[in-house]
Amino acid sequence: MAQPIWQTLISLVELDKKISSFEKCLQKNEKLIKENQEKLVALQKNLETTQNNLKGKRKEADLIELKIRELDAKEADKKKTRNSLKDQKSYKAIQKELSVIDIERKDQEELLVSTWHEVESAEKKLKTEKATLETQDKEIEETTLEFKKENETILEKKHDLLKKHTEITSQLSRE
């Protein structure tokens, strides 16, 4: 014997509520998947920024080393010139230039040491960020797979409920 119409309508409302809750779960999971992907993109951009910073620091160190070599070459030229001089006045002038070059080289060497410390720091940061990215990537991938599996299950349940809904609706229309 068929159920009274009011019980059938209650069943339809309950099915609609379940379907609605499944749809909310699907939306929530999709939102979480999107957030995870955005987090991963942000980590990748952060890693890229650190890599670019490291490249910049290395270039800076290379430029300082080049300047030190130029100062060394300039110093060698001045020493050659100094050794070939005959008068005291020119000798003292070259000696002053050599002391200025020496001071400038020492300043550049200190700057180079500081820059290499920054390079080392940037390399450590890059290594840490790579490890974090790899870990986060694995976690996000696993979480995304879980959400997708859950979504498949929810879609199957939703499909079953929609079938029931259709059956009940067709029974109502026959009565």
Report the alpha-carbon distance of residue 129 to residue 40 in Å, rounded.
Answer: 12
pLDDT tens-digit map of 116-150: 999 999 999 999 999 999 999 999 899 888 888 98
Report the alpha-carbon distance of residue 71 to residue 153 in Å, rounded.
Answer: 72
Residue type, 76: A
Contact (Cβ atoms closer than 8 angstroms) between residue 80 and residue 91? no
CATH of 5-174 among 3.40.50.300, 1.20.1370.20, 1.20.1070.10, 1.10.287.1490: 1.10.287.1490
Residue 29 has a CB neighbour count (10 Å cut-off) of: 19
pLDDT in tens, the chain (175 residues): 467 777 877 888 888 898 888 889 889 888 988 998 899 899 999 999 999 999 999 999 999 999 999 999 999 999 998 888 888 888 899 999 999 999 999 999 999 999 999 999 999 999 999 999 999 999 989 988 888 898 898 889 888 888 888 888 887 777 6
- The encoded tokens of residue 135 equal 């870990």
Report the alpha-carbon distance of residue 84 to residue 70 in Å, rounded.
Answer: 22
> Can you give the pTM of this predicted structure?
0.69
What is the SS3 assignment for 124-145? HHHHHHHHHHHHHHHHHHHHHH
